[in-house]
């Protein structure tokens, strides 16, 4: 091969690849509204994104799989944790993660900022990204079914979908607030108290680190039955 041939390879290769890439980029922007629901980017979503940047969340947490690997991925966090849990975690991480092997810093997030962040994460969770991360798809499915067709859900799906962000059961879910097997053994609450506790923990136990749960009374009852049934 001569130097001249090599030079042509350089220019043809570079320009061809750049051409394809620019064409694909134009198409990406054309299709972005369908994949990322850009029409749903409200001012509050933008405010939430700024909160996300302000506290440098992305250097511990991944989102869309990018960023720090020190803490769980936030792409589908809205479905995995739900709004109340997210707010409780970012506002009082020292309480939520008191017994955890890994801590989250107290960042001084205000309630307003936490609510904006939730809106941002809600928008992110609905990006059509081929169901990534794989481990969170069960929460997405459970949350969507819970809204639309609760009768189709397995009891375990409901429980893990609603509680699996913090509680574990038979190695599923995240064990930061205790395993249901242990909780069932230790709890002294009856059904009514447990239902009240799930809906508003502080009303039963003021020292509880658990935030109020965004579930209907029926779901709370179903979860209570499930837990008490493990005894």
Q: Tokens 């570079």 — which residue?
A: 14
Q: How far is the CB of 94 from another protein (least distance, A)?
A: 5
In whole angstroms, how far apart are CA 120 and each of 30, 213, 227?
Answer: 22, 19, 32
CB atoms near residue 156 (< 10 Å): 14
- Identify residues 134-163 at the interface with another protein (CB under 8 A): 134-135, 138
DSSP conformational letter for 170: T
Given 141, 145, 156, 174, the residue binding another protein (CB under 8 A): 174
Counting contacts by CB under 8 A, is residue 56 touching another protein? yes
Counting contacts by CB under 8 A, is residue 47 touching another protein? no
Q: How far is the CB of 203 from another protein (least distance, A)?
A: 27
- Identify residues 1-20 at the interface with another protein (CB under 8 A): 1-3, 6-7, 9-14, 16-18, 20
Q: How far is the CB of 223 from another protein (least distance, A)?
A: 18
Q: Alpha helices of the chain — where are they, by DSSP H?
A: 3-36, 43-54, 77-91, 93-96, 111-125, 137-148, 155-163, 180-186, 191-199, 201-204, 217-229
Nearer to another protein by Cβ, of 58 and 193: the residue is 58
Counting contacts by CB under 8 A, is residue 69 touching another protein? yes
Beta bridge partners of 62: 67
């Amino acid at each position: 091969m001569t130097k001249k041939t090599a030079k042509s390879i350089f220019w043809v290769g570079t320009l061809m690849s750049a051409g394809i890439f620019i064409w694909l980029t134009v198409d990406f922007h054309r299709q972005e509204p369908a994949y990322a629901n850009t029409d749903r980017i409200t001012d509050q979503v933008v405010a939430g994104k700024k909160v996300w940047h302000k506290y440098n969340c992305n250097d511990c947490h991944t989102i869309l799989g990018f960023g720090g690997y020190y803490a769980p991925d936030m792409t589908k966090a809205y479905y995995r944790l739900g709004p109340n849990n997210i707010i409780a975690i970012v506002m009082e991480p020292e309480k939520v993660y008191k017994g955890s092997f890994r801590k989250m810093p107290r960042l001084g997030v205000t309630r307003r900022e936490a609510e904006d962040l939730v809106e941002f994460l809600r928008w992110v969770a609905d990006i059509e990204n081929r169901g990534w991360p794989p481990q969170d798809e069960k929460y997405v499915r459970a949350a969507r079914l819970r809204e639309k067709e609760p009768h189709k859900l397995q009891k375990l799906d409901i429980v893990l979908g609603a509680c699996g962000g913090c509680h574990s059961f038979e190695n599923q879910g995240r064990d930061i607030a205790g395993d249901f097997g242990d909780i069932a053994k230790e709890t002294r609450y009856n059904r009514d108290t447990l239902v009240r506790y799930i809906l508003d923990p502080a009303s039963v136990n003021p020292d509880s680190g658990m935030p109020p749960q965004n579930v209907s009374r029926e779901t709370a009852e179903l979860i209570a039955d499930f837990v008490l049934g493990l005894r």
